[in-house]
Structure 1
């Protein structure tokens, strides 16, 4: 007899938190919403009851291919060219139970991946729901995960309480998602704007290209917290998609492999409650997994002889890297401290409001490392960079109603404010010296000048600038160009960086970075996302807040 554990039925009692803290739902989802699965009452582990035909089929198909989404974090995504996520681990566990080996295919959009399964170029897909169209070319297993579907909008938007509330709105959807097909076929009155990635859709919502983005609460909320999009929030359940506000995720196989579907279902049925719970905890906001870091003898000796390292700390790059009450704080600071704890090194932060002076200290080897930094050819002359750990885009800010910035040509004739020593400062002074650039050491002064008309454009990171706009109660500034020009491959990718003669320290930290789980990093980003939402005007009195 099968036992199906349903924690998701408690979701309705969680809806009240939408208006309190959408970020808090991430924690609840990661720990409890995952606990929805089917297991065999006997908890079969190795003695899966495969027929002789199924065993023969497995022996004739030693390696099978499966889809791997690029950005469906934390379910199905890619990090350092490695497939990761809850769904990946779940499929691998099910496959292991029945002796299957999986090779993942990625680098394509979700729509392109599904088409490859349809064309029988890929054998297995997952993290998708069943519908009539897909049943024509896929065989589906039973569901293994339920996810709520909601509507996101900009803060202050009217709430979505019915299908009628969706009309006359521009709705952002993801190409290839079942909800996109459903809307197109069943609601021709909807104005749909399709995006190839989740991030593009949310950026479109933030920049007012669309009014609503419909999708998985779990995944969209994760992206919002990771990218500090504190101007977005849940504005209602989805009333148009006929699924009772819930999407059931399943594994599916190509249509001509019905036996593969049956084999995988047996592998799924053999997954125990304890195994499933471990996966949920691994990809949740908490983890009890202990990872031993494989340091070399030289690295261990270096750590023993160098117990404290000195690191840069900016004054006003909140919420990523700033100083509060005389102490270094921010997402990057917490991330470095977590790594330092794992590798057994103490940190000492050196604060300076001038970013150029901090870089000079690193360049002159007075400091060991820096962070929250984009890799450039110039910086690589004196720094060794790690892989990226955070993506924060550079954007253009202008006064509300000003023309949009859609190319480098749109900057001609405008007074442009840039923080001295930043990536835009270096690029524009080196390659576009004909532009009217005004340098600033303080973002607060730059924003005041933009608000009052002293400058026309201000270029900075979207997360840090939105934070300051809200904290300083500036109401006439908005993003008026979501892409930074000229575009570069490393644009917005934050990395750790070390002096050239600290190669061994870079190696040690990279191993520490690898030991940080996705759940641990998610907890940090969620913490700072919540900080933005609830502490941004902390110095206002109750009377001032009410006003």
Structure 2
């Protein structure tokens, strides 16, 4: 909801700019072609992860890439999915305008215009485990039956080597199946689709033997092919590809290839002995138990899939040794420990070494070292000494190794064992526990998923949770293999996995220079708020008495007393000025509360950024890019705080000097001042202001009018408990006048009171909430101060296919007032 409110105008402008760029990229002939033609493209139906069918519908990396081209060009494209042989045949016969995932070959130039490659894939040799143990190169496969996909781009190259007996199959799936069942001795296939079908079919007897020599067979370059004679379409496709941004490509790559692919032949770089290689060839699965409720480290999702940090680690480790690691499902960490004792699982994914566990498990070198922190309620001060928790009740999950260590080191802390992290944080929130002890990453994850809205991280322990792979102590070969894997884990891979999952939300000891400034600012705001409360009540009471008295006096004035009339008019103008200041004071108090709320998030972001850099530095993960980006984020948030103060100051100090001002700037200033109220009350602001509209008048008074109308709309939306709250602000030019319309969806104003809304002291609110001054003042500022007009009526309208009704204020101001 916050994102919609804060960035609606930004998104609209970006989308408009994109459309402008897209239209300007194509010639008139190309635009006409796009408008009048539907083109067809052939895509492979079983080429995971690039093109495949999911529930009968196209899916995959290439399908998403094609949709980006459609988005950039506006082309209408009909997708035809079939085997590679069939779509290549149809493309040659001009039954298709485009073909996807085609690789460049010289003999294809006669019927194809090729785009640049959008992806390149290594081709590898698949073989059965336990075979080709002395493999060195292609010569080792001489005379063997080799499976290969029909019409693959490198078929002729392999055939010309005259080394193998080639057996063709219609697709990768059939190729892998033939290898698994012994119909061929080895199979040539691209790495990704081959691995997918091996995993999908559960072929545990297949391994990757080697990568095809890139000097002999180039990597598979995926391109889009365009029919040879269609130069217009070829130009449109190439221009569309150039319009795809780097960020869009990064998003696409992250979606389909979030885990870095490690070729399985790297197993030879790990340094395994022959005995260890034989062990892996003969072992069907490595059975692993996990903690099913410990995110972001790990859990079993609703479908029973292993997700989290350790899931990413074990995907990498599994590929490094080309071995299936199977998760044994348990309902709790305690049950996983019991399964390890009874040998139902070979390893524990992430465990801390203790004397008791050493009786049945061996532990590798720790591959994660995570800070231990304590989470408490928001009103608990920063804890810089764990000894201050003396006699306090703190929670930690049952079976965790840290329970044993904490009880020994901090005997005065009352350790309460809870079911899991959610149970522990819930009990802290309900006041049953003073705090919850856990890892920084797991607590931060729960906070970000809404579990800790009333909690915070208050302090940290000197100790770190050193987590390793726990291996059953009766299997020394498996332990040696896993120890080598941990030692060989790529540093960049380690950093990528942690960066994907760990975000920091840690309240560390605060820089006192910053806190002094913040305290002074909060103190000043508090004084202004208290003064506003006092002066508002006094001013309203005095003004009401004064206005009533002057109104009676004016009615009794003699027509001949011209001088007295002039004097009374001047006095009434003075009263109107006081009324304006009174209403401005009321708005100021409300905005102070809004600003205080607005500062929370940027202050939190500054704190999170600083502590995030510290944590990554302590792990040796702090990169220059992350450091520079975090500094930029801290500076942007500081600039935002400064801008908020400037907007508030300009509103308070503004005078009644006529100036030329831009309407959009004042509306943006209004949005900044009421941002806290918008966010707190979940109001959707839909703003559509015509650019560069200029007025000559009083910007602060117009701003006050908009705030008054907004406050009335907000109050009635809350009073009537409207579920989806909307306030719309639009502007445009009409007959040398600037029109501003403000409407809501609060179901409108009662017809009986509609004519009275601008009357002085007329209000339908309780006396504690309304004075009846705001809309009356708005009317005078528009009509008398700006020579304009304002009216209100009930309107019915449609937004996003939903019918709404509400009050609509229409302000008309001459361009030169």
Range class of TM-score, shorter chain: 0.3 to 0.5
* Structure richer in helix, relative to its length: 2
Give TM-score, length-normalised by structure 2: 0.31
Give TM-score, length-normalised by structure 1: 0.45
